Structure 1
């Protein structure tokens, strides 16, 4: 006998409570293998492929692309066979022979540890007039053939998408909302959640429901005012005006929302100050060119400028460890951290992310270059894990790649400082008492004034500039 197993959105780690569906990777009626990714979701930190711990036939998907699901809500249901249902399946036997227990390998934030790259196969349609699809979490399936017939037959809408929305909540009953972000969005816009009909599983009110209500979408319970009151909600008057003005509303969610929240919190909580200095980077570039010539001869990868600055930063933090810190506001304590986990800002199609090089203080320049290269490629492909994006103690921001000289960076909360690097460009410079054209870079340093005073910040920045102008200074401090 076969049963239908329900797979819910797992805990993706780092305090994340919800995720947005980016792309479904399977269809209803498709055969999936144990630990095969079934959906790509975007959290506030990264885009993650979520693997299913069951092997069998997908009988339902919950949520459309763009919907936001809370952790613990259903993602898919899978008809798990006992090994006797291989007849009607067009694919390898291991694709449809699931186990009742599943793999058990769905890890927090990282998918599974034993995922395999087996190809997916769609079940052949046995009969266009087959019976009803399986819906219950323990509904029995008599044979493998019936599994295929049920999974591929025309199914009620509830088996292919989330269950239909429930009626609006009663005035004194509980509100079907799990996400605190959804509650806050409604509260900030004066929206009564009790007047909404949730489109999520079991009538759960989703972010999309609130956004439709705020936009005055037709068919929503709030579109014509609160049920039974005849009064229009406060937000319905502003939406037509925005539409008439041609304004575009872009929801602050996912990575963009996380960036907005973190930067706003940094500005609210951290009394930051910025100092800057111009430095002659001619010798640094010459040193890099010599290093890369030697590495090329040995068949090794080249060293990017960012890796050189990463090495300089780790040396500077060894000299000024008070800047590798955070502030515990509840206990009114400065917490100086023993390890340097160096974040670096990276611009991607999905927004700004800050991958973290773990234990940067223990790595050589070549090892820093290799790890920065790996994380950058993962950022561009959208495969960074939550662990790759958290735990930083200091951030390096190379905004020179955008062709600008200076900036006043916002500290990456809860860190205490950030070094900004502008473009390295030819400028007139007094070198050895004479005017010359040199490769000049502007360095800016933003720091939390609670952890140190200007003397410490200035000393840190001056040391960095000295290493840029004369890389031998770095060798002398190792």
Structure 2
């Protein structure tokens, strides 16, 4: 007898409740083993490979590439041949089966050095596989996300042509209806999905919750560029070093606001985020414990995380827990910006392009390497005096790196 073991999308951690299917690693009819990666999904944080906690033959795949699945919704059904006695034993023991590490993601709970007998047991739904219906049913929706998407966009489910098996309306059917331009309206509708939607949600929340203010200053970065040649690290690493030193002087800015308890939480360690433009969009890797690293260690960690970001292989732990963000938007060839704070942080320092400009030096006009620094801060954690003091200290270090050395 064949029993069906149903594996659902596991808890993704970090408060994540859904994921978009990027692609399947298996097909119906394939044989899988315990902890084999069967699907790759993308959360609001990163792309993650998901292992199955069962072994047997793949009976059904419940989601297609591009669809969004909520935690707890079915992903894959795996069938295993068992005897009648085995089935009875399963039923008498509460339908639990020792099947590897259980509903966990790779890197989140599965440890190869643990004995198989001590691994967490995964709860499975053990049911006889139902016969396929002989006649297609009327259009229906299984996923609550698909139903909500249709409702939010004013789409009548009954008017759609289902593309799924058994006349099931899929997400792509609703999105196709949404994408149809309204009469006499020219334009394209592009659904906000995956990383793009995560960025939109985070920035919208920052704008709606944080009363931010921005201050800026032009600085002579000739000294910074000279120091870069001597030390042998990039501008981003030097700015990170200066930024961390500024936060040590103005710890009010390395904080977050607990709105429920109406408290400012001043954080002990600096986890420095920095913006990286990748093929998946803007991502913000985090250098943990940046205040405990040397300049060369900071440079090495910035390089490592940048490479992971551009390769699309950053883990969730690489993009969470930031306390302050550094954004070098000068790489886009622009001088200034009013950046949006990376919620729930309290500040973001932006660096514009470094370019030759006329500058007064000891009363004489000279051509110098000039950049603009902009600082956006949460006005709840401090007033302009603190924000201005931080920005001025950073500017002084950029103009004369010895200022930083004197403070160490």
If the TM-score is normalised by the length of the shorter chain, which range does it land in? 0.7 to 0.9
Indicate which of 262, 266, 280 corresponds to 2:206.
266
Q: How far apart, in 2, do the equivalents of 1:55 and 1:115 lie?
A: 17
* Higher mean C-alpha deviation, range 312-321 or range 45-54: 45-54
Root-mean-square deviation over aligned CA pairs: 3.3
Indicate which of 284, 291, 294 corresponds to 1:354.
284
Indicate which of 354, 357, 361 corresponds to 1:427.
357
Indicate which of 331, 340, 343 corresponds to 1:410.
340
For 1:128-167, list aligned pairs within 5 A: 137-138=126-127, 167=139
Q: Is the 8 A contact 2:277 2:283 kept in 1?
A: yes
Name the residue aligned to 1:239: 182
Q: Is the 8 A contact 1:165 1:200 kept in 2?
A: no
Q: Per-residue displacement from partner, 1:414-444 (whole Å, max 9, x unpaired)?
A: 1111000111122222234332222211110
1:101 and 2:41 aligned: no
Q: Per-residue displacement from partner, 1:286-334 (whole Å, max 9, x unpaired)?
A: 2221222xxxxxxxxxx32212111111110111011111222233332
Q: How far apart, in 1, do the equivalents of 2:147 and 2:320 lie?
A: 24
Name the residue aligned to 2:216: 276
For 1:36-435, list aligned pairs within 5 A: 36-80=36-80, 101-104=98-101, 106-107=103-104, 110=107, 113-114=110-111, 137-138=126-127, 167-168=139-140, 178-179=144-145, 183=148, 185-191=149-155, 207-215=171-179, 239-242=182-185, 245=186, 247-292=187-232, 303-435=233-365
1:468 and 2:408 aligned: no
Q: Secondary structure at the match of 2:14?
A: coil
Q: How far apart, in 2, do the equivalents of 1:208 and 1:58 lie?
A: 24
**How many angstroms does 1:74 deviate by?**
1.9
Q: Is the 8 A contact 2:51 2:104 kept in 1?
A: no
Name the residue aligned to 2:86: none
Q: Secondary structure at the match of 1:239?
A: coil
**How many angstroms does 1:350 deviate by?**
1.3
Structure 2 residues without counterparts, runs of 5 or longer: 83-96, 114-124
Q: Is the 8 A contact 1:35 1:114 kept in 2?
A: no
1:456 and 2:386 aligned: yes
**How many angstroms does 1:256 deviate by?**
0.6
Q: Is the 8 A contact 1:13 1:109 kept in 2?
A: no
Relative distance call for 1:105 and 1:313 in structure 2 (3 A) is farther
Q: Per-residue displacement from partner, 1:144-183 (whole Å, max 9, x unpaired)?
A: xxxxxxxxxxxx999xxxxx887558xxxxxx6544x963
Q: How far apart, in 1, do the equivalents of 2:251 and 2:153 lie?
A: 44
Q: Secondary structure at the match of 2:353?
A: strand
User: TM-score normalised to the size of structure 2?
Assistant: 0.82
Q: How far apart, in 1, do the equivalents of 2:350 and 2:235 lie?
A: 13
Q: Is the 8 A contact 2:287 2:301 kept in 1?
A: yes
User: TM-score normalised to the size of structure 1?
Assistant: 0.71
Name the residue aligned to 1:14: 14
**How many angstroms does 1:80 deviate by?**
4.8
Q: Per-residue displacement from partner, 1:43-66 (whole Å, max 9, x unpaired)?
A: 122111112233443332222111
Q: Per-residue displacement from partner, 1:164-214 (whole Å, max 9, x unpaired)?
A: 887558xxxxxx6544x963x445434467988998899997644542443
Q: How far apart, in 2, do the equivalents of 1:115 and 1:401 lie?
A: 42
